[in-house]
Structure 1
Amino acid sequence: MPILILGIDIISEHPKRFAVVSWFNGKLERKGEFTLYRLIRFIQSKRPDIVAMDSVTELGDDLRKFLRALPNETKLVQVTGRPGEQRSLWSLAKEHGIRAGDKFDPYEEAKVCALLAARGVGYEVLAFEDEVVIKVTRGRSHGKGGWSQDRYRKRVHNLVRDKVREIEDRLKRADVPFDLEVEEKDYGLAKGEFKVYASREELAGLIRPMRGGDVEVRIYPVERAEMGFAPLKSERAIKERRSIIVGIDPGITVGIAAIDLSGNIVALHSERNMPVGEVFRFISDVGHPVMVATDVNPAPGFVEKIARSFKAQLFVPRESLRVEEKNELLRNLGVSVEDDHQRDALAAAYKAYLRLKPKLDHVEAKLREAGLTKRADEVKALVIQGYNLGEAMQRVTLRERPKREEEKPEEKPSVDLGPYLRRIRELEKRIELLERENEELRGIIREQRKTIGRFERRLVDYDEEVRKKILRERELEAKVKRIERLERELREAKAIIERLSRDLAQVKRMNVIEIRGSAVPLKVMEVLSWRELERLEREIGIRKGDVLFVINPAGAGKAIAESLVEKKIRALITEKPLPLAVVEVLKEAHVPFFTSQELDVKRVDEFAVVERETLEKAIGELLAKWAEEDRERETEKFLRLIEEYRIERVKELMRKAEDESKSH
């Protein structure tokens, strides 16, 4: 796969400036000079696979900041090796056949760093544990006082609770181990904090950060107390460090055992609640593992993670080791252990060694024949890593040659060192003077920081007084506005009470009339429409013989009039004239209809009554009038039928007379 590597080297300390060279698919390109801020922005935009340096100490106090700013997939690599085991950049370049120009040119050093990293040389700097903290909190301030703020606060706490449950469910379904602490409030949660035992890469796509809403989700990787260093290629670590076989027993108490390639125990340890980073550091201090072993099948994820970190082979027995078998292995070793965890780890490591022993013995025999017994462990480790014996021996012998060339004694130059020594003494005096001056300036800075702190505290006190004064003024203003609003509401309430009192008096009078039986209650509709008719049926009901009162019948049609006829209402009273289509239907069905002016309807809001005597009289008169009109129509119809019959009879007689005359 084509990868992008950035080689960087420092140009100046104050301010920090770096030379940057990129390596992509075999092509080198000088990118220019960058400040630390611009370098971080450039890395975040390009997202390289590796950022290579000869020494990460060049970043100084900004190292942690730099590592936190790197994209998840970008590795920071120190090409010269682990701290305390570092080699010269130029000797590494010579060993790997890299031509170097001016050794004092930062761009040349950056180029060499990029080329070495491209060959798999160097150690990745590990700043973070395989642990992540996920914090779920509210996203905004609730504000102060009032029912609306209380409701909003409870709503937000419920949202926080729901988000915590969602994340908890996702982690459980993904089988990711975690611990959870919550703070309960308002039958919800004020916050939730997860401690997840997985790396940032493992959580990618599973949990996403959220900002800017009612709920915030923030993800923080857990930083290591001390930097870790893992080789880019285990082959490199094999050459530089002691090769070991490591057995691990994971759990609440972690057991670790390490043996060398001759079967000798070099480390045995167990510790409760030991994080992954501590396990990694403990093993790194002992040596470089070429194989990581477990005593159970299948291998636990914890053991697989350690093996991947060291680029080591993973040993898993064909079936989980029994307790009797583990005890037998320890008896063969002739050692005693402190607890079962150390026993399980040592049994796993020794079982892996026994599996490899025939191959290792064969390698050692061949190396004795070739006279390479001094580099036996390195060759054995390469064979374990997958190289065949010939390839491993060739790589070791090739590495020996540059060393021997470097070990040749150099001829002493015949140069007068006096001026250089005098210059060195002058510079040492100048350094001593600058150090004293630096210490004095640091003292001044400390005093100024104390003064600034004192003024900042006074400013905070002053700000608090101003804030309290502003709050008092705001509270007073809010109270004045509240009083004005309440007075306005009081006036409106008095007006409503006065109107309702008048209506109540009218209703009482209407009730008296109704109780005496001298009035008929009317069922009131605002408009003559289907919706209003359904409302009236739902709330009060329409029964046979009811009298309806419609305020505005405009727009009503034939269908709704036919529906009223089907309901067999006794009469319909309206404030405005009825549409012609409704009139025709009601008149044909002999359902009386009147206007409120004709019957003197008394109405208060949704109540209306009409005097019974007046209503009965009007209905009787209207029905009598319609009956008379019906009789007149029937008479006219009868006379019209007689006339039609007479005309038809005359026509028929005339046809007969014509027929008879034609026959004679």
Structure 2
Amino acid sequence: MPILILGVDIISENPKRFAVVSWFNGRLEKKGEFTFYRLVRFIRAKRPDIIAMDNIHELGDELKKFLRALPQGTKLVQVTGRPGEQRSLWSLARENGIRVGDKFDPYEEAKVCALLASKGVGYEVLAFEDEVIIKVSRGRSQGKGGWSQDRYRRRVHNLIQNKVREIEEALRKADIPFDLEVEEKDYGLARGEFKVYASREELAGLIKPMHGGDVEIKINPVERKSLEFVPLKSEKAIQVRKSVIVGLDPGITVGIAALDLDGNIVAVYSERNMAVSDIVRFISDIGHPIILATDVNPAPGLVEKIARSFKAILYVPRESLRVEEKNELLRSLGISVDDDHQRDALAAAYKAYLRLKPKLEHVDAKLRELGLMKKSNEIKALVIQGYNLGEAIMKVKLRERPKEEIKALPEEESVDVTPYIEKIKELERTIEMLERENQELRAIIEEQKKKIEKLEDKLAYYDEEVRAKVIKSREIEIRDKRIAYLEKELREAKAIIEKLSRDLVLAKRMHLLELKGSAVPLKVLENLTWKEIERLERSAQIKKDDIIYVVNPSGAGKSIAEHLVEKGIRALISAKTLPDNVYGVLRENKVPVFYEDEIEVKRVDEFAIVDREELERAIEQKLAQWEEEDREKEIQEFLKLVEEYRIERIKELKRKAEEEG
């Protein structure tokens, strides 16, 4: 696998500048001098496998920021060892056959760091637990109250619930253990918080963060309480510890309890936001868990995971323990605990112990008879693991049995060794032949090695060249997109500036006309609605003899027209046809109505005017027109009444004539 390592060493403290050397499949290359932020950008672009340093604390106050900025899969390695156990960089170089030039050259130190890391020397710096917190919550503010805000809030809570279910299903399918804490609201969820027992790398591509919409998903790795240093080459340690039965209650607050194999309480503890590594470390400090117990059925994923890591037997009750049963178990133990999590953990451990108690008491009785009570803990642990009592006792005894001294073999009687000598000679000839064949094969292998080295050099050069071309093409593509985006923004900005310039000139002219008295200002309503009227009332108020200009009157009702009449407006100008009921109310109350084809309106945003003489003439003509129409209407109605009276009179005369005849 091609591997990229960056060796980094500090050049200056103020300002911080770093020397960087890259190692790619055996090829070293000086990358130059970097500021802190340029170094971070470079690392995020290159995504190296390892960042190698002789002392990570050279990063100073920027260390935490640097660790958070590292891309997934990139390790930070301190090649000189753990803090307090660090060795000289140059002594490590000598041990690993690395030639050193100028020891005062930062680039030389960066090169040595990269080469040491390539040989597996150093300790990886771990800043994060193998745990992730996933928070699902509302993405936007709900605004102020009202029916629409209530509907929107309920909709968002349903969306949060759906997203929580999606994440839960994805984690279950991937067989990743987790704990979930939710806040229910409006038949949905106000928020959901997952504590996932997996690293960021395991979740990559499975769950993605979301920002800017109705629902927000944040994925944050859990930081360790202190930095840990793990060797690049794994180390093993064997430790003999007392066997215990552990009860575990996982969740946001973790409860842990431990009993020894005699049923005595060893530990009871609880802590909020306890990392998996802290749980494992706490249990390891108590002893070796032979059984890991839970109070619920089925067992939580975290309990299964920790049981596997200790190779412990998992105890799960037939049914989840009820609160009354847990309290009764604690009363029989004669102990009180600080919280429910400690209670649940201790109840689980004690329930597991009670299941095994008859078998363990039988083992103790037999061991008393045999005088082996000193080995009670070891033998009972083996019995719990599945050995019968006899096998367990033998296994413990064999561990302690001293090695028997090898007795000298007795002298054998003299025998004829001639056939054996002949066989030895034949084998020596075969060995000689095989050695010659081995030499020939070694020569062929050496030749093949040289060819492989040449091909690897070519491949490394080609890989580096391809990598550089890909990065360059990506940078060009990003730059081109950025240029196109900025050009578009510039065009839009120029268009806005031109429009604003025209509007400013027009506004100045309109204001000048108004000051001269040759123009009348209009109060503008974008829509003829109560909301717009209230907005206008708050900003400018509608007063007697105001001229109102309406852009969109559709949807207005009779009550709005009556309100404007009560305010005493002098006239109304509309860009579109008014609804009949609005027009009828205004006409009835002698409030002139005009459309834009009848009178010229000059407008800039919220500011509009009309020519005073044109407006006065139009109002006079409109009122005269309506008066003429009303007079004509009255005449028509009078004539209609006269005609109706004439017809009725003729009918009456005819009826009288018929009666007299």
User: Same fold by TM (over 0.5)?
Assistant: no
Q: If the length of structure 1 is used for normalisation, what is the TM-score?
A: 0.44
Larger-gyration structure (1/2) = 1
